[in-house]
Structure 1
Amino acid sequence: MSERPLLVFDFDGVIVDGMAEYWWSSWHASCSLGADGSGLTSDVVPDAFRALRPWVHHGWEMVLLAAELPGLDLQHWINDYAGQQRRAMDLRGWQPDQLQSVLDHTRQEAVRSDRSAWLALHRPFPGLVERLQSLDGEGVDWAVLTTKSEAFTAELLESLTLKPWRLDGREAGAKPEVLRRLQSQRRVHSFIEDRRATLETVCTTPGLESLQCWLVRWGYLKPSDLIGLPPRIQLIDLIAFAKPLAHWQ
């Protein structure tokens, strides 16, 4: 077993900011379903869409948001996201599987027609690429654990000239279980994620008691995500992340 510490990173919202891609694909998907996209363009992410991204758990939800945006009351959605979502779906007569299928097709067509432009919609957060590339010099390995497909994530990482020690996509299973398997192979030092609920689940998973969890300030966070964090979940910002691992705090 290697003695080098291993850092495990989520991908979206930690290494890469996919907001431009989320909006581009969601807007095109909603328009293909007959939604009124007037006043909006695919290349400018609306503030309301950006603000509601932390509430999104599944891709299809973004298609609904894109369709609703022209008349959306942001505060109502923030106060009752699930309720507003149900009402909007019922009024439109849409189903989650239907929206997910259209979104997947939109993305597939974008990749087929102009792959390089599609990849360019995924932008690394400032300094992330250079920092990850520098970890080897500190004697630290790093891995990626994401809910994106492994093949697509691998292509994005390659486009950024990033080579993790290991990559696990959604096909590998739930994040806590993947982390448990990794713990049996390596000394996993930390898990770095932008979804508080995921970190809370990891913290309560047997076998992961020694794993340090970090919630990144630069990710897709709700204001409430920063309040009353459990002791094992610590916040980290880009300034602290740029420091050697021994100095993270």
Structure 2
Amino acid sequence: MGDLYALDFDGVLCDSCGESSLSAVKAAKVRWPGLFDGVDSALEEWIVDQMHIVRPVVETGYENLLLVRLLLESRMPSIRKSSVAEGLTVDVILESWSKIKPVIMEAWNEDRDALVDLFGKVRDEWMDKDLTTWMGANRFYPGVSDALRFASSRVYIVTTKQSRFADALLRELAGVTIPSERIYGLGTGPKVEVLKLLQNKPEHQGLTLHFVEDRLATLKNVIKEPELNKWNLYLGNWGYNTEKERAEAAGIPRIQVIELSTFSSKLK
């Protein structure tokens, strides 16, 4: 009958870590201008470098802002508003982000929706002013653009990125047009609910279902839902995950850990 692929975007199709880290620094300067007094370009570059290491913990874009501030506070004790950043290392962030995040949100008196809006606004402004540079800070993984262009399967994007950014990158950078009704972005509900919606569409009955992700936690959430037992689950080993997570995934029967080349050939 054919195949349906539900694909995560960041870390599966697109390496957006450069752009999201730079956008997060820009947004953090808007949100907490006082904290960036005296921050030189060398320290900003250090933060962006560290962001590449801690990127696996990010589920939704606004968390990049929190990580930027946390990394800044770890280097500049004088600006700390809480003790969370004291002695903090990237290893601790990778291990304990789910515990750290609510603590700093409360300590810094931050609102999730406000940070989501700010992050989107800063990206929009960057795109409006200088689309070429914004695009250039992103890259599609090798072979992915062609695989999408020539895909014989039915392809959906299921992402926590705001849909307009995923759409712009697909069109402008990858040269691929995916109809907007096939892009489920931030605000369309949890990924498990989107997968339920997709599998229940009348036109999808009889299709073999595949979900490709780079976050192990997301795949584990799918496994918890008996209703989603029909989905074949894949962890992309080229994405934003750690060696420890890949080893754990390899021990879970439902999950296949796959290479980028295997993924591209499956799509075609």
User: Does TM-score exceed 0.5, indicating one fold?
Assistant: yes
Aligned match for 2:124, one of 108, 119, 123: 108
Matching residue's letter, 1:125: Y
1:100-158 Cα offsets, whole Å, 9 max, x none, are 4432332222122123332332210111112222323xxx3322122223333222211
1:37-71 Cα offsets, whole Å, 9 max, x none, are 322346x8733211111112333321122233341
Number of aligned residues: 240
1:169-197 Cα offsets, whole Å, 9 max, x none, are 23432222222222233114311111111
User: Partners of 1:189 and 1:83 in 2: how far apart?
Assistant: 33
Aligned match for 1:142, one of 152, 155, 167: 155
Decide which moves more: 209-218 or 126-135.
Answer: 126-135
Decide which moves more: 93-102 or 123-132.
Answer: 93-102
Does 1:127 find its partner at 2:143? yes
Aligned-pair distance for 1:6?
Answer: 1.6
TM-score (norm 2): 0.77
Q: Which runs of 5+ in 1 are unaligned?
A: none
Decide which moves more: 206-215 or 169-178.
Answer: 169-178
CA contact (8 A) 2:2 2:208 kept: no
DSSP 3-state at the match of 2:228: coil
Does 1:173 find its partner at 2:189? yes
Relative to structure 1, is the Cα distance of residues 171 and 59 closer, same or farther in structure 2, using a 3 angstrom cutoff? closer
1:13-54 Cα offsets, whole Å, 9 max, x none, are 100111111111111122232233322346x87332111111
Residue equivalent to 1:152? 165
Aligned match for 2:8, one of 7, 10, 16: 10
User: Partners of 1:177 and 1:92 in 2: how far apart?
Assistant: 31
DSSP 3-state at the match of 1:142: strand
Q: Which runs of 5+ in 2 are unaligned?
A: 76-87
Does 1:193 find its partner at 2:213? yes
Does 1:40 find its partner at 2:43? yes
Residue equivalent to 1:234? 256
Does 1:54 find its partner at 2:74? no
CA contact (8 A) 2:22 2:48 kept: no
Matching residue's letter, 2:18: A
Decide which moves more: 91-100 or 178-187.
Answer: 91-100
Does 1:19 find its partner at 2:17? yes
Aligned match for 1:220, one of 237, 240, 263: 240
User: Partners of 1:111 and 1:169 in 2: how far apart?
Assistant: 18
Matching residue's letter, 2:154: D
Relative to structure 1, is the Cα distance of residues 231 and 26 closer, same or farther in structure 2, using a 3 angstrom cutoff? same
Aligned-pair distance for 1:92?
Answer: 5.0
Aligned-pair distance for 1:91?
Answer: 6.0
Percent same amino acid at aligned positions?
29
User: Partners of 2:177 and 2:90 in 1: how far apart?
Assistant: 39
DSSP 3-state at the match of 1:213: strand
Residue equivalent to 2:79? none
User: Partners of 2:232 and 2:54 in 1: how far apart?
Assistant: 28
Tell me which protein shows more helix as a share of its residues: 2
User: Partners of 2:106 and 2:156 in 1: how far apart?
Assistant: 41
Does 1:163 find its partner at 2:166? no
Decide which moves more: 119-128 or 191-200.
Answer: 119-128
CA contact (8 A) 2:60 2:161 kept: no
TM-score (norm 1): 0.82
